[in-house]
Amino acid sequence: MGDSPPDRRGEWFVPKFGPAAFRSFVGLLFLPYTGMVLSYALIGSLLAEKVHWDRVMAIILIYFLGLGIGAHALDALGSKGIKPWGTVFTRRQLWILAVLALVSAYAIALHYIIRYTPLLLSMALIEGFFVFAYNLEWFNGRFHTDQWFAFSWGLLPVLSGYIIQTNGLSAAALALAVAMALFSLIEIAASRPYKELKQRLATLGSDEVALMLRYEAILKSVSLGVILLGAGLLLRRTIG
């Protein structure tokens, strides 16, 4: 990867306009991948026979705060000295961002756990473990693997979405959760080599550039496909 920190503001999901701080913050959110996880939670919610729409909004907000902001801020902190977004954010700012986002997410979750869906506590505890163990690479990175990524940010959001609606589980929810985990596995398996190639872009040969663009196409297709799947199911439940 080289000795100098890569500047990821050239990524395809980062706006090409605006000041550095704005572009870096949008990049930090990893919106296409965050959108996948929000779609998983939405899909899980829409599996319920009776949909409580306030709970749909709640689980989406919980994952946007907890993953989109909190986990990604921790990921930037746990990057082993590499600053993927340059020096726009200090370590103190990233910690403040992560703590505020996670506290807000858990405050919303606790409201529903206490009043309606106590089973959601199990998901909150497991996801809370992975927020730190995966992103800060605890236990020598044992949980920072493609498989645990797919489990924590693919399978669990679907189950969380279903549980917040029903306070239970079903075979259909489990099957769909495994299916979404496999989509997440494709995403992370393509993302790692893509990122490595992107960081060496200036030194790549034509074959490597073509390979990087192929990985990028996979990432765009998988993320957009999952987001459209969630949107389609939402339209089906709202307007028929």
pLDDT in tens, 80-93: 655 666 678 888 99
For 25, counting Cβ atoms within 10 Å of its Cβ (0-12 exposed, 13-18 middle, 19+ buried), the class is middle
Cα(158)–Cα(155) distance, integer angstroms: 6
157: pLDDT strictly greater than 70: yes
pLDDT in tens, 120-134: 999 999 999 999 999
The residue with greater pLDDT, 87 or 31, is 31
Give the model's pLDDT for residue 80.
Answer: 61
**Radius of gyration for the chain, computed over Cα atoms and rounded to the nearest angstrom:** 18
Task: Name which of 7-21, 48-62, 103-117 the model is least confident about.
Answer: 7-21
Give the model's pLDDT for residue 95.
Answer: 94
Cα(1)–Cα(3) distance, integer angstroms: 7
Taken in order of first residue, the domains within the chain and their CATH numbers are 8-238 (1.10.600)
Give the model's pLDDT for residue 8.
Answer: 76
164: pLDDT strictly greater than 50: yes
